[in-house]
Amino acid sequence: MKIEDLLTRARETFDARTVFAEPVERDGVTVIPAARVVGGGGGGNGEDQQGRRGSGGGLGLLARPVGAFVIRNGEVSWQPAIDVTRIIATLGAVAVTGLFVGSRVRRKR
């Protein structure tokens, strides 16, 4: 893939539709889901010792839901998504840190 093609695809990929999904309407309530999107890419070209040229590139995205805008009776509210995996990982990290610090304090005494 040429660098120009990579940049074109990146421009097409990163737009509002990547962050906000199509609105969904049910019983007079409209919901617009939103996500946090992180991306990165890279490319390069070169030539080997026999004079052969080559180029390449890549693009990667990571999207996680963060919540949704809810429109009801003309009022807009934000409903955050709850990431249970992140909560458990954070609690685990805090617990491990607490055990580590506790053991160090006990050794000093």
| Whether the predicted pLDDT of 5 surpasses 80 | no
Q: What are phi and psi of 21, to 5 degrees?
A: -80, 170
- The CB density around residue 68, as the number of other CB atoms within 10 Å, is 20
| pLDDT tens-digit map of 44-97 | 888 889 989 888 777 788 888 899 999 999 999 999 998 888 889 999 999 999
Domain residue ranges in the chain: 3-82
> pTM value?
0.56
Model pLDDT, residue 24: 94
| pLDDT tens-digit map of 10-44 | 777 666 677 888 999 999 999 999 998 888 777 78
